[in-house]
Amino acid sequence: MTDPVLSVRDLRIRFRSGGRETQVVHGVDFDIRGGETLALVGESGSGKSVTSFALMRLLPEAPRCTIEGSVSMGGVNLLELSERRMAQVRGPRIAMIFQEPLTSLNPVHRVGDQIAEAIRFHRKMSKADIRARVIELLTLVGIPDPARRMHAYPGEMSGGMRQRVVIAMALALEPDLLIADEPTTALDVTVQAQILELLRQIQRATNMAMLFITHDFGVVAEIAERVMVMYAGRIVEQGSLADVLSNPRMPYTRGLLASVPRFEDAGLKTGPLGTIEGFVPSPDNLPAGCSFHPRCPHARPGICDGALPELAAHGAGAHLVRCARSDEPAFGAEPAEVS
């Protein structure tokens, strides 16, 4: 097995405000290998985006924010690099597609200039070569008439076109790892499918690793090989796509799966769509024991509200679950199918 492109160990993130420090990410561990897509799944407020910003070193500096643990690429801990050296890593080694393309692009600069900026910073190329590279990237992401479109402003493009421009910016320096933070959330389903297929094609061609952040298991089923489910700053389930979809053992994972509409149920009286009652708890007021137990339909007093369960192996494989009841034979209901 090849060495991982990215290796994260015991990642912990704390924010300080008004003299009070709050931990928002608690001891996260994972690896991503070349050509692999690892999905990070959870509701808003679970800690997904702040984790990705920590990997890119885009969070505020200490003392406002403290990041501990290790984020290693090629044996180098990115958390120990100076900002000058980290700027050399962003782009060629690790790049990110941000969640909202409209706010990721500068409205007063042409899209071609924004793509070219990173190339000029990292590569010694002539203006003609940079222009050719920008046209190549816009062609790669499926933008028609790229020689003309490179002169357009973001406001002259649709949401789907802007998202393609953001992807072109992220791919400009052929990174080893791409972090995609909910890149299809604001897009209609047709454009969403096109973007997912585009990312798959690019990954196959370049062997790029990808961390795909989403709240939608329907998207996960389309693009990922492995899945991590995050809740209240902790990984609560982790495993292969097949393990997590066919045998989810954490009630939170089951709730997310049940909330995905199924195409085959269209027009049928199958009852209301599944929901998870309540809200993700505030990081500065986490419940005792399992953080999910106040919302969990299977919680038992004295078990789930006691000690925090470890992220432990379920079965013989690499399926990890953080639940005190995950090994009970009759635990939970049948898993939802995601097509």
Question: Please, are residues 284 and 266 in contact by the beta-carbon 8 Å criterion?
Answer: no
Task: Say what percent of the chain tops pLDDT 70.
Answer: 92
* Torsion from C-alpha of 12, 17, 21, 25, nearest 10 degrees: -20
Q: Which residue has the higher pLDDT, 63 or 77?
A: 77
- Whole-model pTM: value is 0.90
Secondary structure in 3-state letters for 103-159: HHCCCCCCHHHHHHHHHHHHCCCCHHHHHHHHHHHHHHCCCCCHHHHCCCCHHHCCH
**How far is Cα 197 from Cα 222, in angstroms, rounded to an integer?**
9
Secondary structure class of 53 (helix, strand, coil): helix
Task: Give pLDDT, residue 133.
Answer: 95
Secondary structure class of 90 (helix, strand, coil): strand
**How far is Cα 248 from Cα 145, in angstroms, rounded to an integer?**
46
**How far is Cα 309 from Cα 255, in angstroms, rounded to an integer?**
19
Could you report the per-residue pLDDT of 233-282, keeping only the tens digit for each? 999 999 999 999 999 999 999 999 988 776 555 455 566 677 888 999 99
Q: Which two tokens stand for residue 319?
A: 């399926």
CA torsion sign, 229 to 253 to 216 to 14? negative
* Residue 333 predicted with pLDDT over 80: no
330 pLDDT tier (thresholds 50, 70, 90): low
Q: Which two tokens stand for residue 19?
A: 């003299």
Could you report the per-residue pLDDT of 270-292, keeping only the tens digit for each? 666 778 889 999 999 999 999 99
